[in-house]
Amino acid sequence: AQKVTQAQTEISVVEKEDVTLDCVYETRDTTYYLFWYKQPPSGELVFLIRRNSFDEQNEISGRYSWNFQKSTSSFNFTITASQVVDSAVYFCALSVGNTGKLIFGQGTTLQVKP
């Protein structure tokens, strides 16, 4: 069975602090994809990143960075120098094989205070 666990339900930081959102996944498939989505109060899910299971290279995009470690089945997301606009619910998701179906974690609510 496939599963995604986001153990942090809510995180609150002060603007400019760095924050890391944890994601642990479970699957027996060797081919899978990992995603992060952001859900602002308006409701739509905004795509942030996709990684495949064969590429463990970490990625940086501006203030965002992702650390993929197959050895610990984790795909953590770090926001550097957080801003108030980063406040949202963040979801980690897993897709196995070529199904396209996304299996989401429970989400982490990030609040960045000015």
Partner 1 sequence: EAEVAQSPRYKITEKSQAVAFWCDPISGHATLYWYRQILGQGPELLVQFQDESVVDDSQLPKDRFSAERLKGVDSTLKIQPAELGDSAMYLCASSPDRVNTEAFFGQGTRLTVV
Is residue 90 a contact residue for partner 1 (CB under 8 A)? Answer: no
Residue 73: φ, ψ to 5°: 50, 50
Is residue 4 a contact residue for partner 1 (CB under 8 A)? Answer: yes
Q: Cα torsion for 26, 59, 6, 73, to the nearest 10°? A: 30
Is residue 37 a contact residue for partner 1 (CB under 8 A)? Answer: yes
The correct pick among 16, 18, 26, 52 for binding partner 1 (CB under 8 A) is 52
Is residue 44 a contact residue for partner 1 (CB under 8 A)? Answer: yes
Which of 55/114 has CB closer to partner 1? 55
| CA-wise closest residue to 61 among 38, 93, 32, 87 | 38
